[in-house]
Copies of this chain bind each other. A is one copy, B any other.
Amino acid sequence: MFFEGSEKKVEVIIKNASFSLIDNVTDEFWVELVKRANAKILSCIQNKYCKAFILSESSLFVWHDRFVILTCGVTHLVNSVEYFIQEQGIECIEYLTYQRKNEYYSHAQLSCFGDDIKVLNKYIKGNALRFGEMDSHHTFLFYKQGEHRVQNKSYELLAYHISEQASEKFINPNITVQEIRRFLQLDKLLPDFLIDDHIFDPYGYSVNAIKDDKYLTIHVTPQAESSYVSVESNINLIKLSPLILKVLKPKSFDLLSFNEVEFKALIKQYINRQYVSKSLVEQQLKNGCNVHFANYVLPQHNFITATVFDLLEDHNEL
């Protein structure tokens, strides 16, 4: 059964230092915001700095001055942005990015990126860019105009076609969260982090991890023919990539970073040389952010057989 793992993602930073998105906003607000995207909240962990929700489709993180939401599947995340604006007011938004990566089955989505930014444009003046080639992995990015003072670093590592062994591990209906945590080596990846995770039926695994204001989230769509694992964090995923790639052994992966000015030096130092870079993009945004995108592939030397197209599975059950 196919599942659209590709995410849409929003980050919003608010202006008002005396207003807290944790203390001054009710959980009912976040429940409704998530609902507007056609998703729901499954669980929550919290520390002094951050509240992390696992969603039916990915995750929501809320800090005092910002939130990050990512949703996969057939969700309509732009509706959540619209809800936020309607409830909290457009004037409270200091910084906004809306990202959408290329989907496997874009024709099954409720909207395309062009539709989404038409909605955003009703409220927000912004610019839109594409990172990566149209015929390959790419991410569309819309961002609000106006320079932003603080440039926080964030990272995405998106892995495609994980090893058969990894895929089988996640597809096993009897696997426990403890076994998955061990397999992903979360203790090494995330020492002393507070962890919340969820196994989905029939397939899929999500984990949110927080420590002080740091977060890391992993979402696994393990189906062998379209396996996809997204890792998103404000801790340095380029430095963690050797461990992540060793565990997942993907045939291909993308790296995306905001404000990692050492990106080029870091990829030289940390990316496994077996992978070759297919696409490398660097862009200084007008809001002050610096964005890097890199797509890597593992050269193949052996022929495999074609994949049976199952009309019911591949087409209808989206």
Contact = CB atoms under 8 A, between A and B. Distances in A.
Interface in A99-117: 104-107, 109, 112-115, 117
A301 B121 CA distance: 35
A130 B283 contact: no
Interface in A277-318: 277-283, 291-293, 297, 299-309, 311, 314-316
Interface centre among A278, A292, A306 (most CB of B within 10 A): A306
A121 B127 CA distance: 45
A264 interface: yes
A303 B282 contact: yes
A303 B263 CA distance: 11
B133 A311 contact: no
A142 B309 CA distance: 9
A289 to B, nearest CB: 12
A113 B282 contact: no
Given A104-B134, A278-B299, A314-B114, A307 B129 contact: yes
A136 interface: yes
Contact of A311 (B105, B118, B130, B302): B118
B293 A280 contact: no
A73 to B, nearest CB: 16
A136 B307 CA distance: 14
Interface string A153-164: 000000011000
A225 interface: yes
A280 B251 CA distance: 12
A228 interface: yes
Nearest to A305: B283
Given A128-B308, A133-B161, 13 more contacts: A104-B135, A128-B309, A129-B309, A133-B251, A134-B225, A135-B226, A136-B136, A136-B252, A276-B276, A276-B299, A278-B299, A282-B304, A282-B305
24 contacts: A105-B106, A106-B107, A107-B107, A112-B315, A114-B314, A114-B315, A117-B309, A128-B308, A128-B309, A128-B311, A129-B307, A129-B308, A130-B307, A133-B251, A135-B226, A135-B252, A142-B309, A276-B297, A278-B297, A279-B300, A280-B302, A281-B305, A282-B305, A283-B305
